[in-house]
Amino acid sequence: MLIRLGFEIAYRFLQPTPMVVMLDIHGSRSHDIVDLQPLSTWPLLPTRQFRDAFGNTCTRLVAPAGLLMLTADAVVRDSGLPDRQAPDAMQMPVEALPDETLVFLRASRYCETDVLMQYAWDRFGHIPPGWARVQAICDHVHEAIEFGYHHADPTRGALRALEEGRGVCRDFAHAAVALCRCMNIPARYCTGYLGDIGIPPVDAPMDFSAWFEAWLDGDWYTFDARHNTPRIGRVLIARGRDAADVAISSTFGPNTLERFQVWTDETRQPLLAAPGEAAGLALAG
């Protein structure tokens, strides 16, 4: 199947301001890109790309005073299959874990394993280690947190999400990641596109999504505590320890977000014009 995806984001700045944005499709999906209008700016600005410590593509630029628009559009080939399932996948003992997975066992900005350790072992210590334990964590987080866009809070970590019982997709991911790490299961935070493919349409604006991956039986497997069911059509943008590592934009000065539109839909057509192009041109004018 083919998926049409992209975004149109506009910021307003008081003065020239350096930025780092993380909006490119992850390199692991580059071979699936069928058609691409890469990240572009209005007004046209010089940009420079680099790879961060987790292999994500980052773009540096200096936003001018006034309006800045960021846009991209792509068609990506996808298997059309739901998230891979491996119910028999086993948890590896810590001493057998690859060195590169150990960073995903440690506490991070939004995943406070030190204060959640007892909470996790009280609830999941009796669950057989492996897939069943990760799924039990997802089930618990799915039930413990109420989803709502009005619950968004960029300062909330896993502990507060579980205490308050509310949040957005990043909070579900942070809580599940933290609890997995408490149980000695490497877990990493993921962000990307996830459209309403294979499910009834959702009456809410499209947004980027957050999920996580857990290391079991020598491989990374996708889990999603918010939806808590295998989904079709995930397209990764970035991975890291938590949301602090994969912010879509880091601005080094004050600004106002004026427009945010994301699209992710099944398609049979090549790129013609971005779904938000007409509105974007009006805003730019």
Topology of domain 2-79+247-284, CATH? Immunoglobulin-like (2.60.40)
From residue 179, how far is each of 118, 130, 142, 157 by CA, in Å? 10, 13, 13, 12
DSSP 8-class letter at 110: T
d(CA 229, CA 124): 20
Residue 220: what pLDDT? 98
The full set of domain ranges for the chain reads 2-79+247-284, 94-232
- Look at residue 271 in the predicted model and tell me its pLDDT: 80
Beta-carbon contacts of residue 265 (< 8 Å; ≥ 6 apart):
3, 4, 5, 195, 197
Instruction: For residue 210, give the nearest of 242, 179, 165 by alpha carbon.
Output: 242
Question: Cα–Cα distances in Å, from 84 out to 79, 203, 231, 234, 262?
Answer: 11, 27, 9, 11, 25
Partners of 189 in the beta sheet? 212, 240
pLDDT by position in tens, the chain (length 285): 999 999 999 999 999 999 999 999 999 999 999 999 999 999 999 999 999 999 999 999 999 999 999 999 999 999 999 999 999 999 999 999 999 999 999 999 999 999 999 999 999 999 999 999 999 999 999 999 999 999 999 999 999 999 999 999 999 999 999 999 999 999 999 999 999 999 988 877 789 999 999 999 999 999 999 999 999 999 999 999 999 999 999 999 999 999 999 999 999 887 865 555 434 444 443
At residue 272, φ and ψ (nearest 5 deg) are -120, -65
Position 278 scores a pLDDT of: 38
CA angle 261, 108, 21 (to 5 degrees): 30
Say which amino acid occupies 162: L
| Alpha-carbon torsion (65, 67, 70, 71), positive or negative | negative
DSSP per-residue codes, 211-275: EEEEEETTEEEEE-TTT-S--B--EEEEEESSGGGS-SEEESS-EEEEEEEEEEEEESS---S-T
User: Which residues are 9's β-sheet partners?
Assistant: 70, 260
Task: Write down the pLDDT at residue 204.
Answer: 79
The pairing of strands 235-240 and 209-216 is: unpaired
What's the pLDDT score for residue 280? 44
Q: Number of C-alpha atoms within 13 angstroms, CB side, residue 30? A: 9
What does the pLDDT read at residue 269? 81
Predicted local confidence at residue 285, as pLDDT:
38
Determine the topology of domain 94-232 in CATH: C8orf32 fold (3.10.620)
